Structure 1
Amino acid sequence: MDSDSDSADSGGEGTSYGLKKKMKYSQSYKSDWEKEPRFTGWLIKSQKGKNFGFCKACNKDINISSGKDSLIKHTQRKIHEQNVKSIKNQPSMTKFVTDTKKRQRAQDTKEAEIRLAAFVAEHNLPFTVMEHLPDLIKNICSDSEIARGLASSRTKTTSIVKNVIGQEEFLNVCEDLRQNKFSLIVDESTDVSTTKHLCSIVRY
């Protein structure tokens, strides 16, 4: 009887052992992988689930449930290598936006300097006032990037009035005279240095 009991007990243990299932490990995505040089720039977390990574270069989800080897195999594909090179050669959107803002700021600063030069000319102010006016504006508008970029002194303002504003207004007057009737007034004189001058005035 004892031997039968021992046999039954040993049989029960064998059956219990056979029912045990082998646990299967499933790899989850780790954000630390993105810092590895071979994965930098293209690997991010996938929206598909924790067992997937996403390749920005190939626009593809990668199943990583079996481990990181799946990512390594993906890096060895020729199409992936070509896509990564293509991304590196393309300027980033951040750089594009930054460059656009810089160009716009430079353009706005130039326009501000032209407006200041026009103000000086319109009100018959001495050009030397521009040695101090930009600094005053910078102090008053310290939070303005355009104000901080002003660099128009007396010499630059004189050049703007003569070569930019003056030339533009001359062309505007010529265009008006082509389209309208006008009167011409001429006055010739000699100054104290015996230099002759001829002044021509048009009215329209």
Structure 2
Amino acid sequence: MPPKYSQHYREEWEQMREFKDWLSPVQDDATKAYCKYCKCNIIAKLYCLKQHISTTKHVKSVEPMKSQTKIKFAKIQTRLDTQNLAHFICEHAAILTVDHLSDMCKKTFSDSRSTENMKLHRTKCTNIINNVLAPHFVSELIKDVGDAKFSILIDESTDISVTKILMSRHVNSIL
């Protein structure tokens, strides 16, 4: 009896219209593929991948992703330094402080090529946070949560004008 043939994962499958959003390789096993939506391994055969598309689990997992609209932003040549600084501000400080922080970095590190052309103030920092960092971290969060149950974190704060603000993010509707 001849040995059984085992199909290996092919990267060109990721370019195919029906697979490109959800298919990825399994790190330690070349004979398997990974579904990002269902968070499961599949035998790396074209027939098995096509069968997986029609499973109830996959159809339910794809539904939340269909309702999301992807916004295409024009690629801008942003220095990595401004994105890192915006990420720092987003995580550790108020956005108003970026005006002073970028000026201080220019003065303190005047001999550095990274800071000589640095231009980052409130408006640009806000736009980097909203249009670059937020979509990235939301997509990472959606990848992590998938169809699992989760809790919603709510943050309440009061700004300088004594206006109460309630912030919450709704990521997944499956409870």
Is the pair's TM-score, using the shorter chain for normalization, greater than 0.5? Answer: no
TM-score by length of 2: 0.43
Higher helix share: 1
Which protein has greater RCO, CA pairs closer than 8 Å, 6+ apart? 2
Provide TM-score, normalisation by structure 1: 0.37
Which structure would you say has the larger Rg?
A: 1
